[in-house]
Amino acid sequence: MLVEIWSDLICPWCYIGKRNFETALAGFEHRDKVEVHWRSYELDPSAQAGPIDLASALAAKYNTDRDGAVAMMSQVSSVAESVGLRYRFDLAQRSNTFDAHRLAHLAAKVGHADAIEERFMAAYFTEGADLSDHDTLAELATAAGLDPSEVSVVLSSEQFTAEVRADEQQARELGITGVPTFVVNGTRGVSGAQAPERLLQLLERGWDESANSTG
């Protein structure tokens, strides 16, 4: 059974959703038959290449002041703590994630997709890493198990650009306007950092539908 997860690496709900999905998958009877594909999604494709202050960016996006943005981040941090994540919004800075997504496609090609998603998200939300900086990306990708020379080739070229754009186009075709979004077998899906119980139901229904369709 195929599960596709559209997410952005700097999306706080995506990291929470990742943890919830892992919990759901661990409780799924047929988890060894599940193939997970991470799909690229950019919350802000026009974001500048370098980092900017996160609170200021959120205030501008949601038409609030800095105090309002800080309150929003505090609320998200509380939810993150409930799934074992300690967000450091005082360190995190919104940045362009296009090159990070290209490296995620390289990771998927060599069997390290989940490792790089985890490393990039952890670095951004808990360590203040700038995911638009090539030196930082190279270090993180290598730590996630990628070959340094292959990482260098990707970052110095346009490799995997088409794959990122294809993911984003598919998201538009599916009507995805927010992340995380979990899609099972190309049809059934849910959006948002759903509770593990809800995601487990999604897996179970997807499995039942697959079984019925194959007789």
Q: pLDDT of the chain along its 215 residues, tens only?
A: 999 999 999 999 999 999 999 999 999 999 999 999 999 999 989 887 666 778 888 898 899 999 999 999 999 999 999 999 999 998 888 789 999 999 999 999 999 999 999 999 999 999 999 999 999 999 999 999 999 999 999 999 999 999 999 999 999 999 999 999 999 999 889 999 999 999 999 999 999 998 776 55
* C-alpha separations of 89 from 5, 16, 49, 122, 193 in Å: 24, 14, 19, 12, 18
Pairing status of strand 35-40 against strand 93-94: unpaired
Kindly state the tokens that stand for 90: 């005082």
Residue 1: count of CB within 10 angstroms of its CB: 17
Q: Is cis: bond before 148, omega within 30 of 0?
A: no
Query: Which residue range is the domain that position 88 belongs to?
Result: 2-213
- Percent helix, strand and coil across the chain, each rounded to 5? 55, 10, 35
Number of compact structural domains in the chain: 1
Q: What is the pTM of this model?
A: 0.95
* CATH code of the domain in which 157 resides: 3.40.30.10
> Pick from 108, 117, 157: which is nearest to 15 by CA?
117
